[in-house]
Chain A
Amino acid sequence: MAVQKLPLAKALNESLRKALETDPKVLIMGEDVGKLGGVFRVTDGLQKDFGEDRVIDSPLAESGIVGTAIGLALRGYRPVVEIQFDGFVFPAYDQIVTQLAKMHARALGKVKMPVVIRIPYGGGIGAVEHHSESPEALFAHVAGLKVVSPSNSSDAYWMLQQAIQSDDPVIFFEPKRRYWDKGEVDTEAIPGELHKARVAREGSDLTLAAYGPMVKVCLEAAAAAEEEGKSIEVLDLRSMSPIDFDSIQRSVEKTRHLVVVHEAPVFYGSGAEIAARITERCFYHLEAPVLRVGGYHAPYPPARLEEEYLPGLDRVLDAVDRSLAY
């Protein structure tokens, strides 16, 4: 069966399985990825089928996981490491930023760093602190890293394999609150480019640009806006580094209004980068300033407050109204 309906987490699991089958140099590493199959079961069953030598339970040491992955990559392996949750990546941040990102450049291109770092990220699952954050801008800001995030099962399946095939380090942010959402996966399709945005819904009045967990919210907002007679285009950016500005520009030249939506704090976030660049590119096309909807400049709140913190349908629609009112 080429086309299957799979939850996003299962699509990732199938993707990893395919990568392990295709290339003997691919390794999975991380805390609890073996017997348990990962705390979200993304690596479920892989150690059983590929052995402890390919699917490696690591000591509880994030810097060690990424640092040894760098060494394995230098030896010719393609490690795919799992950081258990977004807020736990920081012990490894030094290795990612000072070593992984720069190795290719420091070696004048003589070594490659095909390392994928999978990070379940974002909120909406009622978790305790350090389990709900969206640190993508911190990685996108670092030259040498690529940063992507799928929003659906099909992209989860294909983008992860493309990330593993890349000779560059890729930070792969998985929208954990979408892990259980089902979607069609065509395992024989020809996938789109890893860093190309996708028009998730066509529209003519305003563009909503989002990625990862917020794509679904934006699609719901577009459906709600349609009832009010507004035609909203939704762009799934898919990649935060590089960002496919050409696709955003094309959409904005048509709709003349742009709202960027993400869970991460708005301040210094990816929305700021998109707003600045699109303002440069589309200054004479825009009929309103680019607006941003996202988290606040505050620690991610306790679970009972996260619905207030996270952009929901109403906050997105409010921004749509403000943009169209200019």
Chain B
Amino acid sequence: MTVESTAARKTTRRSSGAKRTTSAAGAKKAPAAQGAEPELVQLLTPEGERVQHPDYDIDLSAEELRGLYRDMVLTRRFDAEATSLQRQGELGLWASLLGQEAAQIGSGRALRDDDYVFPTYREHGVAWVRGVDPTNLLGMFRGVNHGGWDPNSNNFHLYTIVIGSQTLHATGYAMGIAKDGADSAVIAYFGDGASSQGDVNEAFTFSAVYNAPVVFFCQNNQWAISEPTEKQTRVPLYQRARGFGFPGVRVDGNDVLACLAVTRSALERARRGEGPTLVEAFTYRMGAHTTSDDPTKYRRDEEREAWEAKDPILRLKAYLEREGHADEAFFEALEAESEALGKRVREGVRTMPDPDDMAIFENVYADGHALVDEERAQFAAYQASFADGEVK
């Protein structure tokens, strides 16, 4: 009896031990994020073929389609120019959006003028569609200011560098819209890395609890500097929304039509008072995180090559040509416009004035502060002492 029961216990122990080992190994080998990819909402294949989706349909005129194409081409040109300007020493740093044009233009063109945008520091395409002068975006990268535009003139908030902070600002702003009884909406941009931040999760909580009209637009570009998405999450990112009590959807982030359709639908839902939506735009950062890092150290060429085949601009071009929505004259005119934009950006950066020395003390406080006043006066006197010397 005793022997038997001991043996039985041992068996039980051994089998439960074996079970644990199996499941742990399984988790290591195949985390859900790397498993079979969930289906993307797609309206335009990488080959430029129009496909239908039961939930997200969109009907755009040829002119609207050409407009999206123009936005993407000019945004890419602006971005390339900025990258070159950084290489030439005109900018201290640049965060390129190369590869993410469809996610930004598609979502940006879904917005109404009275909607409000809270970007990270890479939303140059969204800024473009909001009508922010591209050279304004370069001030902080050149080191002449920390943002410097009036967020209310285009309903486009300042770039936010601390990861994920702006998702809470967006949520608070959306709570304010709801209090005002307005029907505008807010969109908050962030990346796959930011999804790990507490602030993003707190923003999900607050927006769900207060039913705030906000769309969380996550551009999952696969890399947070050198860390792949599976270092951020064990489940596909869009699925996180369910746990917070609102819908999440994954869209082909290189398909401008799908990004537009999905974002438009999420914004409409917000306007109807049905609360937040998480949109995960599945895309790829073709370049480096910023001009400071070297992606060849952490990712393989084959990966980039595979994504090049999904290029958002080429696929829309293929569609425009296939359907006869744009002729050669359109592409030639756009090329000329692109050149002109590049020139304007180059000249804009090179002629951008350095801030006045006294700017250090400007706008620290709205109502003034005795210490700032005192230090400003000391600084001015110190500077003036050099000016006196020069005169002599």
Q: Which residues of A contact B (CB under 8 A)?
A: 53, 58-59, 61, 63-64, 66-77, 79, 91, 94-95, 98-99, 102-113, 143-144, 146, 166-168, 195, 241-245
Indicate if the CB atoms of B372 and A94 lie closer than 8 Å.
no
Indicate if the CB atoms of A68 and B168 lie closer than 8 Å.
yes
Instruction: Give every chain B residue within 8 A of A63 (Cβ-Cβ).
Output: 168, 198-199, 202
Jot down 15 A-B pairs with beta carbons below 8 A, ordered by A: A59-B202, A61-B206, A68-B171, A70-B169, A73-B172, A74-B151, A77-B176, A98-B162, A103-B158, A105-B364, A106-B148, A107-B363, A108-B362, A111-B152, A243-B370
Q: How far is the CA of A59 from the CA of B207 in the complex (A)?
A: 11
Indicate if the CB atoms of B150 and A110 lie closer than 8 Å.
yes
Contact of B364 among A58, A67, A69, A143 (CB under 8 A): A143
Indicate if the CB atoms of B174 and A71 lie closer than 8 Å.
yes
Instruction: Give every chain A residue within 8 A of B177 (Cβ-Cβ).
Output: 75
With both chains docked as a complex, state the minimum distance between the C-beta of B123 and any C-beta of chain A, in angstroms. Answer: 16
Q: How far is the CA of A79 from the CA of B145 in the complex (A)?
A: 28
Indicate if the CB atoms of B371 and A242 lie closer than 8 Å.
yes
Between B150, B167, B202, the greatest number of chain A beta carbons within 10 A of the residue's beta carbon is seen for B202
Known: A68-B175, A106-B147. 9 other contacts (CB 8 A): A68-B172, A71-B170, A75-B176, A105-B364, A106-B146, A108-B362, A109-B362, A110-B150, A245-B370
With both chains docked as a complex, state the minimum distance between the C-beta of A137 and any C-beta of chain B, in angstroms. Answer: 14
Q: Which residues of B contact A (CB under 8 A)?
A: 145-152, 157-158, 160, 162, 165, 167-177, 179-180, 198-199, 202-203, 205-206, 209, 362-367, 369-372
With both chains docked as a complex, state the minimum distance between the C-beta of B154 and any C-beta of chain A, in angstroms. Answer: 12
Indicate if the CB atoms of B175 and A72 lie closer than 8 Å.
yes
Chain B residue at minimal CB-CB distance from A56:
B210
Instruction: Give every chain B residue within 8 A of A58 (Cβ-Cβ).
Output: 206
Indicate if the CB atoms of B366 and A104 lie closer than 8 Å.
yes
Between A105, A167, A241, the greatest number of chain B beta carbons within 10 A of the residue's beta carbon is seen for A105
Indicate if the CB atoms of B364 and A74 lie closer than 8 Å.
no
Instruction: Give every chain B residue within 8 A of A64 (Cβ-Cβ).
Output: 168, 171, 199, 202-203, 205-206
Indicate if the CB atoms of B179 and A77 lie closer than 8 Å.
yes
Indicate if the CB atoms of B365 and A168 lie closer than 8 Å.
yes
A76-B176, A98-B162 known; A104+B170 contact, CB < 8 A: no
Indicate if the CB atoms of A74 and B157 lie closer than 8 Å.
yes
Indicate if the CB atoms of A70 and B168 lie closer than 8 Å.
yes
Between A61, A68, A105, the greatest number of chain B beta carbons within 10 A of the residue's beta carbon is seen for A68
Q: How far is the CA of A107 from the CA of B366 in the complex (A)?
A: 11
With both chains docked as a complex, state the minimum distance between the C-beta of B329 and any C-beta of chain A, in angstroms. Answer: 41
Q: How far is the CA of A242 from the CA of B205 in the complex (A)?
A: 36
Chain B residue at minimal CB-CB distance from A166:
B367
Between B147, B169, B177, the greatest number of chain A beta carbons within 10 A of the residue's beta carbon is seen for B169
Indicate if the CB atoms of B147 and A107 lie closer than 8 Å.
yes
Instruction: Give every chain B residue within 8 A of A94 (Cβ-Cβ).
Output: 162, 165, 199
Between B203, B365, B372, the greatest number of chain A beta carbons within 10 A of the residue's beta carbon is seen for B365
Instruction: Give every chain A residue within 8 A of B199 (Cβ-Cβ).
Output: 63-64, 67, 94-95
Q: How far is the CA of A74 from the CA of B166 in the complex (A)?
A: 12
Instruction: Give every chain B residue within 8 A of A113 (Cβ-Cβ).
Output: 366
With both chains docked as a complex, state the minimum distance between the C-beta of B370 and any C-beta of chain A, in angstroms. Answer: 4
Indicate if the CB atoms of A75 and B158 lie closer than 8 Å.
no
Contact of B366 among A67, A91, A167 (CB under 8 A): A167
Indicate if the CB atoms of A53 and B179 lie closer than 8 Å.
yes
Chain A residue at minimal CB-CB distance from B371:
A242
With both chains docked as a complex, state the minimum distance between the C-beta of B208 and any C-beta of chain A, in angstroms. Answer: 9
With both chains docked as a complex, state the minimum distance between the C-beta of B332 and any C-beta of chain A, in angstroms. Answer: 40
Q: How far is the CA of A67 from the CA of B165 in the complex (A)?
A: 7
The 3 closest A-B pairs by CB, nearest first: A71-B172, A67-B168, A75-B176
Chain B residue at minimal CB-CB distance from A62:
B202
